Structure 1
Amino acid sequence: MFNLTTIVFAFIIFCSLTSFGQENDYTEKIIESISAQKIKHNMEFLASDLFEGRAPGTVGGNLAAKYIAVEFSSIGLKPTGHDNTFYQYVPMHSSYPLASSELKLYLDSTEMNLHLNQDYLMYKTGQQTFTPVPLALVFVGYGIIAPEFDYNDYQSVDVESKIVVFLDGEPYSAQPDYFDGGEATIYSYSSSKQRIAVSRGAAGSILIPTDKNLNWNDLKKEFGFEDVSLAYSVSSNLSILINPELADTLFNPADYSFEDVLIMKRKGNMKSFPLKTKISFEGRFEQRDFVSPNVIGIIEGSDPELKDSYVIISAHYDHLGIGPPVEGDSIYNGALDNAIGVSALIELARTFSSLDRKPGRSLLFIALTGEEKGLLGSSYYTDHPVVPLYKTVANLNIDGIAMFEDFSSVVGIGSGYSTLGTFLNESASKFDIDVQDIPPQFKSNEEFNRSDQMAFALAGIPSILILEGLNNKYKKKEEVLETFINYLVNIYHTPFDDLNQKINYDAAVRHVKLLFDFIYRVANSKEAPEWKKDAPFVNARLRSIAERK
């Protein structure tokens, strides 16, 4: 015999299960409303020549920000930017080197003039590079100090107030516990080498590229855009990439020739030593100061306990703008990098906004500026958050969308660092999609560090980038891989990344549906995502919590 308490309890359970089932069915209907036509509509605006490549601080870049703000407003997002607008203004400074800049190489009484673009390119520009007095050069191997690998290229040389010269890359290793074996570590990045040089008191640096597949003309195009930084960032010093054809000249007549250095590289016994050459530099630059906005809107959460915590969904809307012409086209439209990502962001915002019952946590949608110039918009946001960082539980960054509608796997860039990988596994399983590791052709460290998820991670926020994998229902892995590589080699960061290429909007819809489900799970979970204990961002998270930043 059932008592009244048992009957009431059973009735409550029945109602809650019924409510859950109805909400589940309703959410499924909402997911099905994700529209290829709407994604295409926004894409065809943002990637058009009208926006002139969306470079920060340009008419096209500002027009793109305005377009996104209008879309955010029309779908009902709440503005969270400056003066109750959607804009968070990011102050920037840009500098572009002119051909009249003078870089001189000295050997005793001999003086040699080097020419911009032909002989060298500049990583950093501006008045801080001014080096009027000839300074001595010191070769420092790879320019690396890595205590965890017991490696120090600076150990035997004094570089204070001198210009250091180093090779690209890092020591070769077949052992995973020494420079991560076959994978590149952060020490291989030019920016890491430059920071180490500054920390050792060097007045500047020269990087010598040694990749035999290097095409100097391609590098000139890559460096053919203005150098942009946050207006308040710390000034850097002279940082040069030199044409490898001039490497012998730098080492002549040092104790070792450049050929000797290449032999050391092959044998794994690199040495550091002073050179007998000096350089001076007097740069001339075209400079400007401007602001470029992040575009930010919010959907407030529905759960009384969770609504004061936040999930950031981000995508950068900037691209390279107008640059060196290729086959007569000088507009770098950035269709797949990242107009389609922003179009997906807008469609996600529209879909979530259409829910009668919003997710438990609040959703912050951010279209970021300055990603192509060094994650500037995301770095500015984490310095000046509109909601507390310690209350921000996750970041899903969108930088690229699936190319093939029949993809059957995804890669979670950064999923191994946090419990966001668990949420991804659940969402992928729902769509009968596998989660695979990053293909060996692509470097996992590089991938996570290359887009805005890195800036959020450095601020302590568990972050992830979800990309299409190599597995496909009807295509071989080799065919998919060939398409990816063709894009990276021939289209990425060129004027050919425009609307003339084939774009599969059904693939975009399938990808966005997966992202919607992932966000929905994170936003409704009682358990907030967390960094794993060995993740390099744990301390940043603990610090933001302690400081209540």
Structure 2
Amino acid sequence: MRFEGFYMSNQTPHNQGNCTTVALRSIRLVLYLMLLSLAGPVFSQQGLNPTLLQPMMSISYDSIRAHLNFLGSDSLAGRAAGTEGERLAAKYLAERLESYGYEPIDRNQDYLQSVPLHGSQPLDGCELLLEIAGGTRTLELWEDYVLYNTGAGTFIPQPVRLVFAGYGIVAPEYDYNDYINLDVAGAIVVFIEGEPPSEDASYFDGPYPTLYSYPEMKQRIALSRGARGSILLPAPKASAPYDWSGVVQDFSFEHVTLMYGVPDNFNAAIRLELAQELFHGAPFTFSDVLAMDTTSTMQSFRLETRLGFRGNFTQRDFVSYNVAGFLPGSDPELNETTVLLTAHYDHLGIGTPVRGDSIYNGVGDNAIGTAVLLELARHWATLDPRPQRSIQVMFVTAEEKGLLGSQYYTAHPLKPLYRTIANINIDGIAMFDEFLSIVGVGADLSTLEDNLERVSRRFNLSMTGIPNLFIAQDAFVRSDQLAYAQAGIPSMLVVEGVDYKNLGREEGLRRMEKWGAERYHTPFDDLSQPINPRAVLQHARFLLALAYDLAVSETEPEWKRGTRYVNARLRSAAEKR
């Protein structure tokens, strides 16, 4: 069986004797190559497949901008999960997929997959009581503490004991356990943020964070040890200034879970100035603990304080939607396999006003990624002939609430997971400048790295890693690609590197850091921000070419040996799920 390659076409004209047809095709190809040369040295012309070239060069920034202007507008009020703004966005996306000729995947012949969710928010009247040295102190929500979870499972009507468990980590692979000889059954576990400091790459990944540093992982470990709940304490570092107001802003949005999710227990974070009070009468003070953190001498011990909590919440059950469409491939056998392209279309919605603006529009995160995926979907539908493998385009909900739309999809897949050969996730698009390098977040975990390298070479781009400045964010576990990886599907997120064509590396890093500090998850990630159309087009064309490379490839991507997602892939194949 021969495959239509990305770089070299093996097509034969329908009428080999028709010189006019051949000539017209040649003229069309020359015109497109002229367009490429005018666009600058973005990618190599040698070996480009005309089947891909025409749609790729037809990608329109005006079309992308039109989608963006709707999705990022104030009229959609930030597209929070379960709001009218998100419903209007889902309707818009479904209508576009239908107009492009995509097939609905849902058994009801609908483009919308219903995702049942539960939302809750704390109200005035929540009571957190600390018993300290025979006295009682009431802490104020937002001023003194914030809640990770809400709902009936957080109630602690009678005060219970507190236990300090260092970083709150049990990591057998590093021979590390903060819970040795520590009884936390029925108690509230107190731990500090972060993990043991290390410069050794074989021990907690050296200077880079592992999953154990995440509050959610610490909370799960505490729950597995029988704890009633947890309190996270800040451990300020010079590299990450402490900002309680920023914490309050992040926690001010509705808490959303899958309707069938595990009931939430009590998990909170308290402000730095109050941390010392928890250690009243304990063997060590909070200042001692911060010193332990910097000297790798962390200890766990009982505290003499107790805690009770009564919550007051507003709650709702609702349905949000994943929006999905499907185009079958051209090969009668390989069209049973699918390349999955995803982008989350939700954002934060209405939140704490900042300089008078309370709409968190989420233009960069991720209205622009959604708009680009729509444009890619439009042009994929024009490919003639179509690639051998099928394509599934899906816009997922509730990414901002913990990848919930993607988690629901992998639990209720519309196409078999084991026949989904790869996921390319789009969460953010280049907006500053044309770029000279590309980053495949998670590419090193699978042979998707080979596809990325092949397409990068044709675009004259170098492959680089995540800049050290941003490595602490551990980008692979921060967006929807994680959910698909956990289901066994080789996955990656493709973003531009910081080697910019006109800005240069240092200025590019400065702008990226500035955007993260001033626009990310604020009302100022809106339509007024500058966006470089050439950068958007370059990124969009690269993504189309990458998806095409996967769809015509003779081989399916595989996880590399030793990767934690290998077993999930084997399991889905064995179960034919």
TM-score by shorter chain over 0.5: yes
2:201 pairs with 1:173 = no
Aligned residues between the structures: 536
Matches of 1:231 and 1:451, distance apart in 2? 21
Matches of 1:296 and 1:281, distance apart in 2? 42
Q: How big is the shift at 1:445?
A: 7.0
8 A Cα contact 2:339 2:389, kept in partner = yes
Using structure 1 for the length normalisation, give the TM-score: 0.96
Q: How big is the shift at 1:406?
A: 2.2
Matches of 1:286 and 1:228, distance apart in 2? 12
Task: Give the corresponding residue for 1:516.
Answer: 544
2:54 pairs with 1:29 = yes
Matches of 1:200 and 1:107, distance apart in 2? 25
2:101 pairs with 1:101 = no
Q: Which moved more, 1:500-509 or 1:172-181?
A: 500-509
Q: How big is the shift at 1:156?
A: 2.1
1:152 counterpart (172, 177, 191): 177
Matches of 1:132 and 1:117, distance apart in 2? 21
2:290 counterpart (262, 265, 269): 262
Matches of 2:374 and 2:434, distance apart in 1? 23
8 A Cα contact 2:324 2:395, kept in partner = yes
2:93 pairs with 1:65 = no
**Aligned-residue CA RMSD (Å):** 1.6
Task: Give the corresponding residue for 1:397.
Answer: 425
Task: Give the corresponding residue for 1:473.
Answer: 501
For structure 2, which runs of at least 5 residues remain unmatched after alignment?
A: 1-7, 15-21, 26-47
Q: Secondary structure at the match of 2:559?
A: coil
1:353-364 correspondence to structure 2 within 5 Å: 353-364=381-392
Q: How big is the shift at 1:17?
A: 6.1
Matches of 1:254 and 1:437, distance apart in 2? 45
2:560 pairs with 1:532 = yes
Task: Give the corresponding residue for 1:414.
Answer: 442
Q: 1:254 to 1:19 in 2, by over 3 A?
A: farther
Matches of 2:189 and 2:135, distance apart in 1? 21
Matches of 2:423 and 2:9, distance apart in 1? 34
2:145 pairs with 1:120 = yes
8 A Cα contact 2:433 2:502, kept in partner = no
1:240 counterpart (268, 274, 285): 268
Matches of 2:206 and 2:383, distance apart in 1? 48
Paired residue type of 2:412: H
Matches of 1:247 and 1:331, distance apart in 2? 33
1:331 counterpart (356, 359, 368): 359
1:135 counterpart (160, 167, 171): 160
2:93 pairs with 1:77 = no
Q: How big is the shift at 1:506?
A: 2.0
Task: Give the corresponding residue for 1:11.
Answer: none
8 A Cα contact 1:402 1:507, kept in partner = yes
Paired residue type of 1:474: N
Q: How big is the shift at 1:473?
A: 2.3
Post-superposition Cα deviations, 1:432-483, rounded to whole Å, max 9, x if no partner, equal: 1111111111227710000000000000000010001011222221100011
8 A Cα contact 2:433 2:501, kept in partner = no
Using structure 2 for the length normalisation, give the TM-score: 0.91
Matches of 1:195 and 1:206, distance apart in 2? 12
Post-superposition Cα deviations, 1:390-446, rounded to whole Å, max 9, x if no partner, equal: 111000000000124421101000000001111011111111111111111122771
Q: Secondary structure at the match of 1:106?
A: strand
8 A Cα contact 1:413 1:444, kept in partner = no
1:487-526 correspondence to structure 2 within 5 Å: 487-526=515-554
Q: 1:85 to 1:17 in 2, by over 3 A?
A: closer
Task: Give the corresponding residue for 2:336.
Answer: 308
Task: Give the corresponding residue for 2:411.
Answer: 383
1:164 counterpart (189, 196, 200): 189
8 A Cα contact 1:207 1:240, kept in partner = yes
Post-superposition Cα deviations, 1:345-397, rounded to whole Å, max 9, x if no partner, equal: 10110010011211111101000000000000000000000011011100000
Paired residue type of 2:373: L
Paired residue type of 1:293: Y
8 A Cα contact 2:278 2:305, kept in partner = yes
Matches of 2:128 and 2:433, distance apart in 1? 51
